[in-house]
Structure 1
Amino acid sequence: MTLTIWVDDWQMQCCGERFAPGDVVSWTLLEADPEEYTGVVGGERAAGIDFREEHHGQGEETAPTSVEVVSIDEVHCRYEVLPGFTDQVNCPVPGTTVLVPVEAADGWAKARPKLRFAGYLVTARRAADGV
Protein backbone atom coordinates (compact mmCIF):
# COMPACT_ATOMS: atom_id res chain seq x y z
CA MET A 1 0.00 0.00 0.00
CA THR A 2 1.32 3.42 -0.88
CA LEU A 3 0.99 6.62 1.11
CA THR A 4 0.89 10.20 -0.12
CA ILE A 5 2.90 12.57 2.06
CA TRP A 6 3.06 16.38 1.88
CA VAL A 7 6.49 17.89 2.54
CA ASP A 8 6.58 21.69 2.96
CA ASP A 9 9.12 23.63 0.93
CA TRP A 10 10.17 25.73 3.95
CA GLN A 11 10.71 22.72 6.21
CA MET A 12 13.03 21.14 3.64
CA GLN A 13 14.84 24.44 3.05
CA CYS A 14 15.38 24.95 6.77
CA CYS A 15 16.72 21.60 7.86
CA GLY A 16 15.47 18.82 5.64
CA GLU A 17 17.76 16.22 4.14
CA ARG A 18 17.83 15.47 0.43
CA PHE A 19 15.88 12.37 -0.59
CA ALA A 20 15.19 10.49 -3.81
CA PRO A 21 13.09 7.54 -5.00
CA GLY A 22 14.46 4.34 -3.50
CA ASP A 23 15.68 6.08 -0.33
CA VAL A 24 14.39 4.90 3.03
CA VAL A 25 13.74 7.92 5.25
CA SER A 26 12.62 8.23 8.84
CA TRP A 27 10.02 10.99 9.16
CA THR A 28 7.58 12.21 11.76
CA LEU A 29 4.26 11.79 9.96
CA LEU A 30 1.16 13.60 11.14
CA GLU A 31 -2.31 13.05 9.73
CA ALA A 32 -3.02 15.56 7.00
CA ASP A 33 -6.10 17.77 7.03
CA PRO A 34 -7.23 17.93 3.38
CA GLU A 35 -8.65 21.43 3.97
CA GLU A 36 -5.10 22.75 4.48
CA TYR A 37 -4.05 21.62 0.99
CA THR A 38 -7.17 22.21 -1.11
CA GLY A 39 -6.04 25.66 -2.28
CA VAL A 40 -2.61 24.39 -3.23
CA VAL A 41 -3.42 21.10 -4.99
CA GLY A 42 -7.20 21.11 -5.43
CA GLY A 43 -9.84 19.19 -3.52
CA GLU A 44 -9.42 15.81 -5.19
CA ARG A 45 -5.65 15.66 -4.71
CA ALA A 46 -5.87 17.10 -1.21
CA ALA A 47 -8.28 14.31 -0.21
CA GLY A 48 -5.58 11.82 -1.22
CA ILE A 49 -2.87 13.24 1.06
CA ASP A 50 -2.50 10.82 3.95
CA PHE A 51 0.20 12.51 6.04
CA ARG A 52 2.37 15.57 6.30
CA GLU A 53 6.03 15.39 7.24
CA GLU A 54 6.93 17.48 10.30
CA HIS A 55 10.25 18.26 11.93
CA HIS A 56 9.68 21.60 13.62
CA GLY A 57 8.13 20.73 16.96
CA GLN A 58 4.63 19.48 16.24
CA GLY A 59 4.24 15.77 16.77
CA GLU A 60 7.11 15.46 19.24
CA GLU A 61 5.24 12.59 20.90
CA THR A 62 4.95 10.76 17.56
CA ALA A 63 7.61 8.17 16.79
CA PRO A 64 9.30 8.54 13.40
CA THR A 65 8.09 6.24 10.64
CA SER A 66 10.42 4.62 8.11
CA VAL A 67 9.15 4.88 4.56
CA GLU A 68 10.67 4.09 1.18
CA VAL A 69 10.25 6.93 -1.30
CA VAL A 70 8.58 5.75 -4.51
CA SER A 71 8.15 9.04 -6.39
CA ILE A 72 8.36 12.79 -5.85
CA ASP A 73 6.40 15.63 -7.44
CA GLU A 74 7.23 19.29 -6.89
CA VAL A 75 4.08 21.33 -6.38
CA HIS A 76 3.98 24.81 -7.90
CA CYS A 77 1.02 27.22 -7.95
CA ARG A 78 0.21 30.89 -8.29
CA TYR A 79 -0.27 32.96 -5.14
CA GLU A 80 -2.15 36.26 -4.91
CA VAL A 81 -4.55 38.20 -2.73
CA LEU A 82 -7.90 36.55 -3.44
CA PRO A 83 -11.04 38.57 -4.18
CA GLY A 84 -13.16 39.22 -1.11
CA PHE A 85 -10.28 38.86 1.35
CA THR A 86 -9.78 41.91 3.55
CA ASP A 87 -6.22 41.08 4.59
CA GLN A 88 -3.44 41.48 2.07
CA VAL A 89 -2.13 37.93 2.39
CA ASN A 90 -1.15 35.98 -0.70
CA CYS A 91 -3.05 32.70 -0.94
CA PRO A 92 -2.82 29.79 -3.38
CA VAL A 93 -5.00 30.38 -6.43
CA PRO A 94 -7.19 27.32 -7.04
CA GLY A 95 -6.72 25.69 -10.42
CA THR A 96 -3.16 26.93 -10.97
CA THR A 97 -1.29 23.88 -9.64
CA VAL A 98 1.48 22.34 -11.70
CA LEU A 99 3.06 19.06 -10.59
CA VAL A 100 6.61 18.40 -11.76
CA PRO A 101 8.05 14.88 -11.31
CA VAL A 102 11.61 15.10 -10.00
CA GLU A 103 14.50 12.69 -9.42
CA ALA A 104 15.33 14.12 -5.97
CA ALA A 105 14.13 16.68 -3.42
CA ASP A 106 16.36 19.13 -1.57
CA GLY A 107 13.91 21.94 -0.77
CA TRP A 108 14.77 24.04 -3.80
CA ALA A 109 13.08 24.03 -7.18
CA LYS A 110 13.65 25.59 -10.56
CA ALA A 111 11.60 28.79 -10.85
CA ARG A 112 8.49 28.54 -12.99
CA PRO A 113 6.98 31.67 -14.58
CA LYS A 114 4.21 33.20 -12.41
CA LEU A 115 4.23 30.19 -10.05
CA ARG A 116 5.71 29.61 -6.62
CA PHE A 117 7.17 26.38 -5.31
CA ALA A 118 5.00 25.19 -2.39
CA GLY A 119 6.30 21.74 -1.49
CA TYR A 120 6.38 18.12 -2.51
CA LEU A 121 3.85 15.35 -2.90
CA VAL A 122 5.74 12.18 -2.08
CA THR A 123 4.46 8.72 -2.83
CA ALA A 124 5.97 6.22 -0.40
CA ARG A 125 5.41 2.84 1.15
CA ARG A 126 6.16 1.77 4.69
CA ALA A 127 9.66 0.33 4.87
CA ALA A 128 10.07 -3.27 5.98
CA ASP A 129 11.22 -2.06 9.40
CA GLY A 130 8.58 0.73 9.49
CA VAL A 131 5.70 0.80 11.90
Structure 2
Amino acid sequence: MTLTIWVDDWQMQCCGESFAPGDVVSWTLLEVDPEDYADIVGGERADEIDFREEHHGQGEGHTPTSVEVVSIVEVHCRYGVPPGATDKANYPVPGTTVLVPVKAADGWAKARPDVGFAGYLVTARRASDEPEDAAIPIRR
Protein backbone atom coordinates (compact mmCIF):
# COMPACT_ATOMS: atom_id res chain seq x y z
CA MET A 1 0.00 0.00 0.00
CA THR A 2 1.40 3.39 -0.96
CA LEU A 3 0.75 6.66 0.80
CA THR A 4 0.93 10.19 -0.54
CA ILE A 5 2.48 12.59 1.94
CA TRP A 6 2.66 16.39 1.72
CA VAL A 7 5.97 17.88 2.94
CA ASP A 8 5.98 21.69 3.34
CA ASP A 9 8.89 23.62 1.87
CA TRP A 10 9.38 25.61 5.09
CA GLN A 11 9.47 22.50 7.30
CA MET A 12 12.28 21.09 5.18
CA GLN A 13 14.13 24.41 4.99
CA CYS A 14 13.89 24.93 8.74
CA CYS A 15 15.15 21.63 10.03
CA GLY A 16 14.29 18.80 7.63
CA GLU A 17 16.75 16.18 6.45
CA SER A 18 17.30 15.49 2.77
CA PHE A 19 15.73 12.34 1.33
CA ALA A 20 15.55 10.46 -1.95
CA PRO A 21 13.68 7.47 -3.38
CA GLY A 22 14.81 4.31 -1.60
CA ASP A 23 15.52 6.14 1.67
CA VAL A 24 13.73 5.04 4.81
CA VAL A 25 12.61 8.04 6.85
CA SER A 26 10.91 8.33 10.20
CA TRP A 27 8.22 11.00 10.00
CA THR A 28 5.34 12.14 12.14
CA LEU A 29 2.33 11.78 9.85
CA LEU A 30 -0.80 13.80 10.51
CA GLU A 31 -4.13 13.33 8.76
CA VAL A 32 -5.12 16.06 6.32
CA ASP A 33 -8.20 17.49 4.73
CA PRO A 34 -7.35 17.21 1.02
CA GLU A 35 -9.41 20.34 0.37
CA ASP A 36 -6.70 22.32 2.21
CA TYR A 37 -4.30 21.48 -0.63
CA ALA A 38 -6.60 21.88 -3.65
CA ASP A 39 -5.42 25.40 -4.53
CA ILE A 40 -1.76 24.35 -4.26
CA VAL A 41 -1.76 21.02 -6.13
CA GLY A 42 -5.13 20.96 -7.90
CA GLY A 43 -8.24 19.14 -6.77
CA GLU A 44 -7.43 15.76 -8.31
CA ARG A 45 -3.93 15.56 -6.79
CA ALA A 46 -5.20 16.94 -3.46
CA ASP A 47 -7.61 14.00 -3.19
CA GLU A 48 -4.57 11.67 -3.30
CA ILE A 49 -2.91 13.22 -0.22
CA ASP A 50 -3.22 10.95 2.81
CA PHE A 51 -1.01 12.72 5.35
CA ARG A 52 1.33 15.61 5.93
CA GLU A 53 4.73 15.37 7.50
CA GLU A 54 5.10 17.39 10.71
CA HIS A 55 8.17 17.85 12.85
CA HIS A 56 7.20 20.93 14.79
CA GLY A 57 4.73 21.49 17.64
CA GLN A 58 1.62 20.03 16.01
CA GLY A 59 3.20 16.58 15.91
CA GLU A 60 3.55 16.24 19.69
CA GLY A 61 2.09 13.03 21.02
CA HIS A 62 2.18 11.28 17.63
CA THR A 63 4.53 8.35 17.14
CA PRO A 64 6.84 8.69 14.11
CA THR A 65 6.24 6.21 11.30
CA SER A 66 9.02 4.67 9.21
CA VAL A 67 8.29 4.83 5.50
CA GLU A 68 10.33 4.11 2.39
CA VAL A 69 10.31 6.94 -0.13
CA VAL A 70 9.14 5.73 -3.56
CA SER A 71 8.98 9.01 -5.51
CA ILE A 72 9.17 12.78 -5.01
CA VAL A 73 7.46 15.57 -6.90
CA GLU A 74 8.22 19.26 -6.29
CA VAL A 75 5.12 21.42 -6.21
CA HIS A 76 5.28 25.00 -7.45
CA CYS A 77 2.41 27.47 -7.79
CA ARG A 78 1.78 31.16 -8.18
CA TYR A 79 0.82 33.21 -5.12
CA GLY A 80 -1.27 36.35 -5.11
CA VAL A 81 -3.78 38.42 -3.18
CA PRO A 82 -7.28 37.12 -3.96
CA PRO A 83 -9.66 39.61 -5.56
CA GLY A 84 -11.59 41.53 -2.91
CA ALA A 85 -9.26 40.49 -0.08
CA THR A 86 -8.73 43.06 2.63
CA ASP A 87 -5.73 41.51 4.39
CA LYS A 88 -3.37 41.68 1.35
CA ALA A 89 -1.92 38.25 2.22
CA ASN A 90 -0.71 36.06 -0.63
CA TYR A 91 -2.45 32.74 -1.21
CA PRO A 92 -1.95 29.98 -3.81
CA VAL A 93 -3.63 30.85 -7.09
CA PRO A 94 -5.77 27.88 -8.28
CA GLY A 95 -4.82 26.46 -11.66
CA THR A 96 -1.17 27.58 -11.55
CA THR A 97 0.37 24.33 -10.27
CA VAL A 98 3.62 23.09 -11.79
CA LEU A 99 4.68 19.55 -10.77
CA VAL A 100 8.32 18.54 -11.22
CA PRO A 101 9.49 14.96 -10.51
CA VAL A 102 12.86 15.04 -8.74
CA LYS A 103 15.50 12.54 -7.62
CA ALA A 104 16.01 14.07 -4.16
CA ALA A 105 14.53 16.62 -1.77
CA ASP A 106 16.47 19.04 0.40
CA GLY A 107 13.88 21.79 0.93
CA TRP A 108 15.19 23.99 -1.86
CA ALA A 109 14.12 23.97 -5.48
CA LYS A 110 15.36 25.50 -8.69
CA ALA A 111 13.46 28.72 -9.38
CA ARG A 112 10.76 28.44 -12.03
CA PRO A 113 9.20 31.31 -13.98
CA ASP A 114 6.05 32.86 -12.47
CA VAL A 115 5.64 30.30 -9.64
CA GLY A 116 7.04 29.72 -6.16
CA PHE A 117 8.12 26.48 -4.52
CA ALA A 118 5.47 25.21 -2.07
CA GLY A 119 6.56 21.71 -1.04
CA TYR A 120 6.71 18.08 -2.06
CA LEU A 121 4.26 15.32 -2.83
CA VAL A 122 6.00 12.16 -1.64
CA THR A 123 4.82 8.68 -2.51
CA ALA A 124 5.94 6.22 0.15
CA ARG A 125 5.21 2.80 1.56
CA ARG A 126 5.59 1.35 5.01
CA ALA A 127 9.24 0.48 5.62
CA SER A 128 10.00 -3.23 5.40
CA ASP A 129 11.82 -3.14 8.74
CA GLU A 130 8.63 -2.08 10.54
CA PRO A 131 6.76 -4.91 12.27
CA GLU A 132 3.73 -6.13 10.32
CA ASP A 133 1.38 -4.74 12.97
CA ALA A 134 3.07 -1.33 13.00
CA ALA A 135 0.44 1.32 12.85
CA ILE A 136 0.31 3.70 9.95
CA PRO A 137 -2.34 6.20 10.86
CA ILE A 138 -5.65 5.40 9.22
CA ARG A 139 -7.22 8.14 7.16
CA ARG A 140 -10.82 8.68 8.21
TM over 0.5: yes
Residue correspondence of structure 1 range 22-61 to structure 2 within 5 A? 22-61=22-61
Q: Structure 2: how far apart are the matches of 1:128 and 1:80?
A: 42
Q: Structure 1: how far apart are the matches of 2:72 and 2:84?
A: 34
Tell me the equivalent position of 2:85: 85
Question: How many angstroms does 1:33 deviate by?
Answer: 1.3
Q: Structure 2: how far apart are the matches of 1:105 and 1:20?
A: 6
Q: How many residues align?
A: 131
Question: How many angstroms does 1:84 deviate by?
Answer: 2.3
Question: How many angstroms does 1:49 deviate by?
Answer: 0.2
Residue correspondence of structure 1 range 1-131 to structure 2 within 5 A? 1-130=1-130, 131=134
Q: Secondary structure at the match of 2:128?
A: coil
Partner AA of 1:116 in structure 2: G
Question: How many angstroms does 1:62 deviate by?
Answer: 0.7
The Cα offsets for residues 70-111 of structure 1, whole Å up to 9 and x where unpaired, read as 000000000001112221011101000000000000000000
Q: Secondary structure at the match of 1:11?
A: helix
The answer for unaligned runs of 5 or more in structure 2 is: 135-140
After superposing the two structures, state which structure 1 stretch, 76-85 or 101-110, moved more. 76-85
User: How high is the TM-score relative to the length of structure 1?
Assistant: 0.97
Q: Percent identity of the aligned residues?
A: 81
Tell me the equivalent position of 2:138: none
Q: Structure 2: how far apart are the matches of 1:81 and 1:34?
A: 22
Question: How many angstroms does 1:120 deviate by?
Answer: 0.1
Q: Structure 1: how far apart are the matches of 2:45 and 2:87?
A: 27
Q: Kindly report structure 1 stretches of 4+ aligned residues shifted beyond 3 Å.
A: none
After superposing the two structures, state which structure 1 stretch, 108-117 or 31-40, moved more. 31-40
Q: Secondary structure at the match of 2:111?
A: coil
User: How high is the TM-score relative to the length of structure 2?
Assistant: 0.91
After superposing the two structures, state which structure 1 stretch, 66-75 or 38-47, moved more. 38-47
RMSD across aligned positions (CA): 0.8
